[in-house]
Amino acid sequence: MASDAGGLRLFHTIRGAGEPVVLVHGSWGDHHGWDAVAPALAERRAVVAYDRRGHGRSAARDRPATVHDHVADLAALVEALHLGPVHVLASSYGASIALRTASLHPDRFRSLAVHEPPLVRLLDDHAPSAPALRAFREAYPRIEAFLRAGRPSDAARTFIDEIALGPGTWDRLPPAAREAFLRNAPSFLAEIEDPDALDLDLSALRAFPGPVLLTQGDRSPPLFGPILDRLAPALPHATRHTFTGAGHVPHASHPRAFVARVEAFFAGAAA
C-alpha cells in the first residue's frame, strides 16, 4: 500500500490488529529490515512498516532528503492513516528520526522504543569517545567517495564493517541483505550531506511525556552506549535495556529476545 504523507507517497504494509506500532528502519534499508520480528509483533497489535522516502518503494523528491523531511513524513504518515497516538519502534538512523519526531509531535506517539541512534554529535565533548569518534568520521569521506564513484558495494562494505556491525560482517550477510543495501545506497549520500543528521536538541526531548525504551547490544560499536547515556536524562520516563550477545541489529540477529523485550515494554506503556 501507499499513503500520501505530506504530499509524498510512502509505501507501507499493515498486518495484525489492535494498538498500532509503527516501525522505522535505519540507513541503507527498507521495511524488509523488520521481517524477522514483524509477524510476531502482529500477533498482538497492528504493525505498520514503511519505507522512508527515497528507500525501497517510497517516492523521493528531486533534492536530497534531510532528517527534517523524514520527521515530517513520520508525523504525516501517522496522521494520514488515522492511527491516533501510536507506539513507535525504531532502529539506528530511524531511531534518530523517531526521537526528533517525538520531541516535535509528542501527541502522535503513545510510547517509543529506540535501538542505538547514531547521534554522534552528542559526544563532541565526551573525551573517552574521541578515538571511536575519529574512526567514525574518517570512514564517512571514504563512503561518500565510493558512492559518488558508483561503487556502492565498497561503500556498503565500509559502512557495515567499520561503522555498524564490525570487520568481516559484509561478507557474511545473506545475499538478500546485501542486495537491499545496494538498492538503497544512494539514499545514504543525503545523510552524509545533512548537517543535522547526527545531532539532536536534548532539551526538546522533555516535550515527550510518554515512556521510552532505550536499547543497545553488548557487542555493538562503543559509541552507542555513551549516546544513550546522554539521551536517558533528557527523557522524563526512559528505561534502558541491553541485549546480550547482540549488536546493532538485534531485530535481525536475536528476534525472539527482541520481540519479548519490546512487547513487554509496549504492554506496560498501554497499561
Segment 38-54 mean pLDDT: 96
Q: Residue 77: in which H helix or E strand, if any?
A: helix 67-80
Write down the pLDDT at residue 1: 53
The per-residue pLDDT for 221 is 93
pLDDT(52) > 90:
yes
pLDDT of residue 6: 55
Q: DSSP readout, 105-173? A: -GGGEEEEEEE----GGGGTT-GGGHHHHHHHHHHHHHHHHHHHTT-HHHHHHHHIIIIIS-TTHHHHS
Confidence of residue 73 (pLDDT cuts 50, 70, 90): very high
pLDDT tens digits, 254-263 = 999 999 999 9
Multiple choice CATH, 2-123+196-270, 3.40.50.300, 3.40.47.10, 3.20.20.20, 3.40.50.1820 = 3.40.50.1820
pTM, entire model = 0.95
Q: Answer yes or no: is pLDDT of 75 > 60.
A: yes
Read off the pLDDT of residues 183-192 as tens digits, 9 standing for 90 and up: 999 899 999 9
Indicate whether 210 pLDDT > 80: yes
Q: Which grid cell is 218?
A: 553488548
CA distances from 167 to 26, 145, 221 (A): 20, 20, 11
| Mean pLDDT of the 109-136 span | 96
Q: Which three three-digit cell numbers place residue 19?
A: 494498538
CATH 3.40.50.1820 residue ranges of the chain are 2-123+196-270
Give the per-residue pLDDT at 124.
95
Identify the band that residue 269 occupies on the pLDDT scale cut at 50, 70 and 90: confident
Residue 62 confidence class, pLDDT cut points 50, 70, 90: confident
